Amino acid sequence: MCGIVGYVGQRPAKELLLDALKKLEYRGYDSAGIALVEGTQLFLAKRAGKVNELAETLSQKVSQATVGLGHTRWATHGPPTDSNAHPHCDCHRKIAVIHNGIIENYLPFKEELQHRGHRFVSETDSEVIAHLIEEHYDGTNLLEAVRKALQPLRGAYAIAVVATDSPEEVVVARAGSPLVLGLGANENFAASDIPALLSFTRTMVFLNDGELALLRHDRVELFDFEGHRISRAPQKIEWDVVTAQKQGYKHFMLKEIHEQPHAVANTLQNRYELSTGKIVLPELHGLTERIQNAQMVYLVAMGTAYYAGLTAKYLWREFFRVPIAVELASEFRYSKPYLDENTLVIAISQSGETADTLGAVREARARGASVLAIVNVVGATLTRESDATLYTHAGPEIGVASTKAFSAQLAALALLGFFIAQQRGWLSPAQTRPALESLVRGPALIEKLLQKESEIARLAQIFYEKEHFLFLGRDLLYPIALEGALKLKEISYIHAEGYAAGELKHGPIALIDAQMPTVVLVTKESVYEKVFSNIEEVKARRGIVITVTDQISKEIERVSDFIIEIPQSSRWLAPVLFVVPLQLFAYHIADLRGTDVDQPRNLAKSVTVE
């Protein structure tokens, strides 16, 4: 994790770097720092805490520097202290380095370097990079020194380096952590992701693993780790700056919850023919044969994306004629699953940078399987490591707790399920049509649901001081119960557990008493009576029941303390609709508890370490 940014140009670097760091803060926010090249001096400021605290420390600092680096950290090696904050330096040559990732074999290098007289001041793995560069740097060729320093290092990294002896250069490199270059007029940038640079430029070049770049104000040059020059055309990024800002909402998360009608509509757009029921996904053409021959389908992902995969399994199973398994990418990778050229692995990831998901994909491809990625961030590593990519078009998601990316993933997975079924002849377009018609009503129905926000906020007011919650769902709403519990725990720090409603009596029922709130999801689309019985079981133990349902009946009213009504739809749309009030509920509870909603403690948006 961690966010990094580098700049070389004509503007004052200090303000620009702090601005970019604020946008990168979702990647880690336990400490922050910047380095500025001021003539022959290297100015360094770093401290534990958020970027705002760093900015405060620097408020009196006047700097003409037009070259510099910035870093916001999510600690792995060494606690979040001032000295462990980046940039790290070699004072001898005035070299500063920022790093996102982990250097796995740093210890022997650290010992060796200390032995040779290098003074280490941090507990991080990253500091070795600065000292190793110093060993190879003759004061003229920084790029070459970085290239040589990186040769023996193992692990994942994106780094940026400046040195006062090469005062008009920033050198960057990547192996396993994201890095994008921004091209401007007489200025150039590097950063961990696109939104950090959007207010400066939309012309970007994605660096691949095993590549370095030399940035000067008037040019950017790319090289591989052997030192060979590479050429790559820049891309125009369509995301606009406004979507990456809060637009009057108190938090990004709230704004992103409200953007779900658009996120779903954009993801569905131009990908179907409503008149025939045909699904049109030209981006998957390269995979047609593999899709047709697949004997086994794995869905792999982490976090919220994993719950999207789990939902797809429930939805697809009724018409798929091959087995489907859903696995956490971190487990899949090491559990030695049987994989061959007839296995289709579908990797789901908002960022496309999650280390565990990338690891699973690499393993799958190495063993002959084909990989289809569902990704939100354009040009992300996962898209380049997969055989084909189906983009969700949710736009930039900044809040650490995923919301609009999830509903967009559900929409993309619904389309993909129909697409695969049509390709295989399991469903004809005509048979798909009714489901498709219901799916495209999604954005309007989400819009309707969002109007219930004040009702849900009132409910949050009643419950925000509780310390425990249960979420129950069954069949296609089981993953949504898990997601509801995840949202609540992530941002409010309330202990919340999601369970399959049928599992209630095998353990969690022991937790029910008159204090315990249970959120139960019940849809007319599936096992309505069964879930109703599960509510009775909670009620019989005097539990507090909040029912979320698309079918209110007298019985439901009798056993529920509170009811949130969802518009009626179909199996295809119900998961998307049911998750919206759960997101709003978690959001308002967290807001009432005064937590840092967009940057909850200990979490990061994109987990680029294993």
List residues with catalytic annotation: 2, 605
Distance CA 102, CA 1 (A): 9
Distance CA 273, CA 275 (A): 6
- The region, left, alpha or beta by phi > 0 then psi within -120 to 50, assigned to residue 155 is left
Count the residues of the shown chain that bind ligand G6P, applying the rule CB under 6 A.
16
Residue 210 sits at the vertex; the CA angle it makes with 209 and 216, to the nearest 5 degrees, is: 95
CB of 310 to ligand G6P, least distance (A): 13
304 binding ligand G6P? (CB under 6 A): yes
Tokens in use for 372?
A: 């289809």
Task: Identify the three-state secondary structure at position 425.
Answer: coil
Tokens in use for 265?
A: 């509509």
Segment lying near ligand G6P (by CB under 6 A), choices 79-87, 115-123, 553-561, 599-607: 599-607
Tokens in use for 15?
A: 């303000």
599 binding ligand G6P? (CB under 6 A): no
DSSP 19: H
CB of 253 to ligand G6P, least distance (A): 11
CB of 30 to ligand G6P, least distance (A): 15
Binding-site member from 180, 305, 516, 579 for ligand G6P (CB under 6 A): 305
Q: Give the nearer residue to ligand G6P in terms of CB position, either 11 or 601.
A: 601
Distance CA 1, CA 302 (A): 15
Residue list 206-265, contact with ligand G6P (CB under 6 A) = none
Dihedral in degrees, nearest 10, Cα atoms 25, 28, 29, 31: -120
Binding-site member from 6, 9, 101, 303 for ligand G6P (CB under 6 A): 303
Q: Give the nearer residue to ligand G6P in terms of CB position, either 23 or 217.
A: 23
Buried b / exposed e along 251-288 (16+ C-beta atoms within 10 A): bbbbbbbbbbbbbbbbbbeebbeeeebbbebeebeebe
Q: Give the nearer residue to ligand G6P in terms of CB position, either 110 or 605.
A: 605
Q: Give the nearer residue to ligand G6P in terms of CB position, either 178 or 417.
A: 178
Distance CA 407, CA 96 (A): 41
Segment lying near ligand G6P (by CB under 6 A), choices 205-213, 399-407, 497-505, 533-541: 399-407
Instruction: Find out whether 47 and 31 touch, Cβ atoms under 8 Å.
Output: yes
Q: Give the nearer residue to ligand G6P in terms of CB position, either 46 or 404.
A: 404
Distance CA 81, CA 58 (A): 18
Instruction: Find out whether 217 and 10 touch, Cβ atoms under 8 Å.
Output: yes
Site track for ligand G6P across 336-375, x = CB under 6 A: -------------xxx--x--x------------------
Segment lying near ligand G6P (by CB under 6 A), choices 156-164, 396-404, 498-506, 570-578: 396-404
Which amino acid is it at 442? G
Which amino acid is it at 40? T
Query: Could you give the count of Cα atoms lying within 13 Å of 169 in the half-sphere of its Cβ?
Result: 20
Q: Give the nearer residue to ligand G6P in terms of CB position, either 374 or 589.
A: 374
CB of 356 to ligand G6P, least distance (A): 8
177 binding ligand G6P? (CB under 6 A): no
Residue list 461-500, contact with ligand G6P (CB under 6 A) = none
Binding-site member from 243, 407, 547, 606 for ligand G6P (CB under 6 A): 606
402 binding ligand G6P? (CB under 6 A): yes
Q: Give the nearer residue to ligand G6P in terms of CB position, either 29 or 532.
A: 29
Nearest residue to ligand G6P by CB is 303
Instruction: Find out whether 191 and 16 touch, Cβ atoms under 8 Å.
Output: no
534 binding ligand G6P? (CB under 6 A): no
Three-state SS letters, 252-309: HHHHHHHCHHHHHHHHHCCCEECCCCEECCHHHHHHHHHHHHCCEEEEEECHHHHHHH
442 binding ligand G6P? (CB under 6 A): no
Residue with tokens 């609009």: 404
| Residue 450 CB neighbour total at 10 angstroms | 17
Q: Give the nearer residue to ligand G6P in terms of CB position, either 126 or 376.
A: 376
Q: Give the nearer residue to ligand G6P in terms of CB position, either 146 or 373.
A: 373
Segment lying near ligand G6P (by CB under 6 A), choices 101-109, 234-242, 301-309, 446-454: 301-309
CB of 352 to ligand G6P, least distance (A): 7
Binding-site member from 28, 159, 605, 609 for ligand G6P (CB under 6 A): 605
Task: Identify the three-state secondary structure at position 505.
Answer: helix
CB of 471 to ligand G6P, least distance (A): 17
Q: Give the nearer residue to ligand G6P in terms of CB position, either 291 or 398.
A: 398
Crossing angle of the two packed helices 404-424 and 303-316, in degrees rounded to 10: 30
Binding-site member from 460, 544, 603, 609 for ligand G6P (CB under 6 A): 603
Residue 458 sits at the vertex; the CA angle it makes with 455 and 459, to the nearest 5 degrees, is: 90
DSSP 549: E
Residue with tokens 């295809």: 572
CB of 185 to ligand G6P, least distance (A): 32
Instruction: State the residues that interact with ligand G6P by CB under 6 A.
Output: 302-305, 349-351, 354, 357, 400-402, 603, 605-607
